[in-house]
Amino acid sequence: MIDLTVKGIDGSDVPLSEFDGQVRLIVNVASKCGNTPQYEALESLYEQYKDKGFTILGFPANDFGGQEPGTDEEIAEFCSLTYGVQFPMFSKISVTGDDKHPLYEYLTSQPEPVGGEVGWNFQKYLVDRAGNVVRRFGPRKPPLDPDVTSAIESLL
């Protein structure tokens, strides 16, 4: 996995190495998207597997249809109050275009079918314990879909 330090949604510096050894689902999220209700399923997935070495990393992005217009503080409040999100959330980034965040440069540069450009909000990248990006799930693939849960379980 790429060795980066990212900004937590609270403004703190968070080295991604903090999650080394865990299975990770990296998701670009948005508060005003048709897929926003996936937060509920993501939180359920996190609660189900967090004690087995799994985490979700949520990266708010406003790249598609202006669907994440809020500040980090507004996003954190929305996620907490509306969906009870406990998994790690990070400062808003760009996941596409000229100002694409280095993490997403890395994720999207992986060979197909794992890599490839982010198509919309709630695209999911699955990373194994060794830091290898092993699967990509499209924005419309529900987090609790058997394809997703079986892929996670196979890595735990």
Catalytic positions are 33
CA geometry: angle at 16 spanning 100 and 77, to 5°?
75
d(C-alpha 35, C-alpha 123), whole Å: 10
d(C-alpha 113, C-alpha 125), whole Å: 11
d(C-alpha 4, C-alpha 151), whole Å: 25
CB 62 within 8 A of CB 95: no
In this structure, the number of other CB atoms found within 10 A of the CB of residue 111 comes to 8
> 7: helix, coil or strand?
strand
